Amino acid sequence: MNLSKVFTKAIISSPERQQEADADFAVVKQVQTGDVAAFDKLILKYRERVFGVVYNLTANREDASDLTQDAFIKAFQSINRFQGHCSFFTWLYRIAVNTTLSHLRKNRLRSFFSLEKLHEDGTNAEVLEQLTDKKGADRDTYLQELKEKLNEALQKLSIPHRTVITLFEIDGLSHSEIAEVMGCSEGTVRSRLHYAKQFLQGELGKYLRS
Amino acid sequence: MPELEQRPKVTVEDLLRLKRAERPAPEFWGNFEREMRQKQLTALLEKRPWWQEIPQFIARRAYLPVGATAILAFTLVSVKYYAPAQLAQVENPPAGSPVTVDHEVTAPVAPVSSPLVNRTESVASVAEDTVVASTAPVSSTASTDVVELMPLLVAPRAEETPSARLLAANLTRLEQSDADFGHNVLNARLSAPAREQIAAPAAEELASVPTNSTRRNRLLAQYGGRQLNPEPAPPAVVRERLARRLGDTDTSDRSNRLARGIDTFSTPMPQIVALRF
């Protein structure tokens, strides 16, 4: 077992993540040997997750679409440099986050919302029930207002704090994975996460019940 | 109020979980895939600028034998800094071989440090005008230590400065008188008539020296008498040993006299040498 495998296993704690990383690395090896079509598997597998991260960071669906494509193109161009020191998923996330942060810094003053429709399925129906007892049009108006207030509050956060809370609460990454994606320590991640939650509680107090 | 208390708690985490429900419609992904394909083909056909290839090139070549490069650099530095000394040692002849030494060169580094030398002359100019020894015709059986130093010693050109001219003239006088003296001493040791011939003027010189010390006179008389006493001819082995000892003594004395002669140019060297013997 080479050193990169050991290092990767130390980073990826859960066995499911490890299996996923091994499968991804096999596909990456195919791409590196010249099988360009194998990269489509990786695009199909990760496009929604990458899009979700970029969308939650930008709050703009068009920008998120372009930035997601750019992230995949960059990953494709740099695929020969990937040597398996971390999982492909983490590596791809890092590319996407860095691309998005660069875009946000360039267009700091130009920000407007272009939000996706809120899909009501089984996972969030319970939360929606808890949030409102309204019915019909009133309920839709209330949810639209809640969505905009939530995005506004997120956009008021600084870019690092927004990134941390997006990756942790929305995408479900662990502290260590976020630290690796962002290139900082786990303590920094925890600190930013705590601050971001406090800020959001202050901004969204109207919609919270304790 | 009781209704509000019965309603379940809503936290920030719950609100943020709603963000997961903001997903694009399925048709969005069709458009996304089409655009993605175009960008991928463009990226394949696009030739990257050369400066973007530099980091990859360096990263690929970083596995070159760094140790070999370090050794090569160390070797180059070592050769650069230590090559002159090594070359000088290589130029030295073997210890046992006869060495030809230019007698002008035997005036060593002393001219620079001598008080008689014009100190305004820069060391750089002296070094520029010097010639490396071991070019000339006079043969000498000098000791190994002296021989090893010879190639490194340099001497100024006699015609360049007044001090150098004075130095060269003194050295020439010293060599001539020294050679005659050594030759005479050697003959005096080996044959009685020659000894008498040399001892007579020496005794006259000694007698002419005014002194009040009776002990000194007695010692001088003993010295003169011993020199004048006829002795049987020594055997060949003794003669050879004597000659060798005289040769060594001659060499060391010559170097001593040269050093002293450089410091005291006006001293008549042959007379001093005669008195010492």
pLDDT tens-digit profile, chain B (277 residues): 444 445 566 778 888 887 877 788 888 888 888 888 888 888 877 766 677 667 666 666 656 677 788 888 888 888 887 765 555 555 555 554 454 444 444 444 444 444 444 444 444 444 444 444 344 444 444 444 444 444 444 444 444 677 788 888 888 877 776 666 655 555 555 555 555 565 566 666 656 655 555 666 676 666 655 555 555 555 677 777 777 776 665 566 666 666 665 555 544 455 444 444 4
Q: What is the dotted CATH code of the domain comprising A122-210?
A: 1.10.10.10
Cβ of A120 under 8 Å from any chain B Cβ?
Answer: yes
A1-116, what's its fold? Rna Polymerase Sigma Factor; Chain: A (1.10.1740)
Domain count, chain B: 2
Q: Examine the domain organization and report whether B84 and B100 are in the same domain.
A: no
Give ranges for CATH 1.10.1740.10 in chain A.
1-116
Query: Which residue, B65, B91, B117, sits at the end of a domain?
Result: B91
ipTM score for this prediction? 0.74
Q: Examine the domain organization and report whether B80 and B123 are in the same domain.
A: no
Long-range contacts from B144-147, C-beta under 8 angstroms, 24+ separation: B144/B95, B144/B96, B146/B251, B146/B255, B147/B92, B147/B93, B147/B95, B147/B99, B147/B101
DSSP secondary structure letters along B95-150: TTS-EE--TTTTS-SHHHH-TTS-TTS-HHHHHHH-EES--SS-EE---HHHHHHG
Find out whether B258 and B171 touch, Cβ atoms under 8 Å: yes
Structure tokens at B220: 């001088």
Cβ contact, residue pair A208, B35, below 8 Å:
no
Chain B residues in contact with A120 by the CB 8 A cut-off are 21
Q: In whole angstroms, what is the distance from residue A53 CA to residue A195 CA?
A: 20
Chain A residues in contact with B15 by the CB 8 A cut-off are 127, 131, 146, 150, 200, 204, 207-208
Backbone φ and ψ of B148, nearest 5°: -65, -30
Q: In whole angstroms, what is the distance from residue B130 CA to residue B153 CA?
A: 9
More confident residue, A12 or A108: A108
Domain for residue B268, yes or no? yes
Backbone φ and ψ of A85, nearest 5°: -70, -25
Q: Examine the domain organization and report whether B134 and B176 are in the same domain.
A: yes
**The pLDDT of residue A100:** 92
Chain B residues in contact with A68 by the CB 8 A cut-off are 32
Q: In whole angstroms, what is the distance from residue B207 CA to residue B198 CA?
A: 15
Q: In whole angstroms, what is the distance from residue A204 CA to residue B240 CA?
A: 118
Cβ of B8 under 8 Å from any chain A Cβ?
Answer: yes
Chain B residues in contact with A117 by the CB 8 A cut-off are 22-23, 25
When CB atoms are compared, the residue of B16, B25, B39 closest to A169 is B16
Domain for residue B38, yes or no? no
Cβ contact, residue pair B21, A124, below 8 Å:
yes
**The pLDDT of residue B81:** 77
Question: How many Cβ atoms from other residues are within 10 Å of residue B276's Cβ?
Answer: 9
Give the domain range for residue B270.
92-191+233-276
β-partners of residue B140 are B99
Calculated CA dihedral for residues B255, B261, B264, B269, nearest 10 degrees: 120
Q: In whole angstroms, what is the distance from residue B140 CA to residue B178 CA?
A: 14
